[in-house]
Structure 1
């Protein structure tokens, strides 16, 4: 019924001589869909991780589900699809996914290609090291000359090397699961990315008897936005409303506690300042 209403509304606008682009934007908005395909990470424990049965779990997955339900889509009609740091923008632009909820930091460069609702959380970039190296790496300056994981498409390594001017040595990995393996195996000295990702990696390593620690020296703000097709202002505003409701009724705080308090990470529990739907 919602899809039919959206089509009728679009037809009415077209009939009055309004530009086709406006009608097309309303017709394709996520608010007019009875099912949603949402892009999530598959290799970030605690945020987005694919399990052996093919299903996904994590904070981002739960946030995505909550948003979909509040948009009027049944849980059974939500499909998750794997995205990576390198593929997120193209998958939104090509229509492979309707939304992306994947530790997706809002940046000016990304906003040229896609739009963002939210953010639904503001993380902070920090550093993860082996516990035995905690005394040697206490902050970002200590990464000079050390092997640091680099994930293609992620802004985390450039934040250290380019923005902060720290001459860390890049060691490329396909994703943060690869970074974790390299760190525990001794092929890396550190992993630097958002603290929520680091908390999930540390928790997974501890389950295998590997002792890792977060340095607790944050040096950036990383607003996690919901990626959405450019031009879908109606959808963006609807997602923002859903996020606001989640903080008002305690759903966001519950999910943050579920996924990150066991790792000892202190999380913010107030609704972030939205970027604006333009």
Structure 2
């Protein structure tokens, strides 16, 4: 096992950081690592907003559901789907690319590009001994976040990434068994096999929570997921995305 794989396998979300701002050299290294992620057709359809201002962090923490680690960290990154520069490129070249930018396909390209870049950033940060936590909660009030960060058309805030020096030790959550997520040649849709795998995973996850909380919590994974998915959330997302110029074709 090499150091890169060891770093990947040792991942866990950190939700308490020391009050140590990241030096600019580390921020630049993380961003450069993000930029070297694969990108569809060299399109690079993302941007990253770095947030240092304490008041902006406090506002983002509130909009994200009062998550304290959005405010208290070494540096906060917001990863955005971004085709604004491409719109300007079209103007430079006097070519109308509006229909393409508004397509579902290009929206997916922006989501994928941003996600790949973010994971590169996360691995880079962890390789430096830093901790990270992804923050999907910034989509709770996505219109306000967009206004706060002054995002133009064709730019959507997807998720945040809190990075800093860990101030707590956390356990690794047990992932699904590899046979449950990896299929060879074709998808294994055999219901009884999947149910058996889920039943075993429920036992593992329930034991993890019970040990972590001294028996105060023992919910199963399927229980946790179905409770979460039973109520639709952020139902304004489609309208917001369309108002930004995407998903019109």
TM-score strictly above 0.5: no
Question: What is the TM-score with the length of structure 2 in the denominator?
Answer: 0.26
More helix as a share of residues: 2
More strand as a share of residues: 1
Question: What is the TM-score with the length of structure 1 in the denominator?
Answer: 0.24
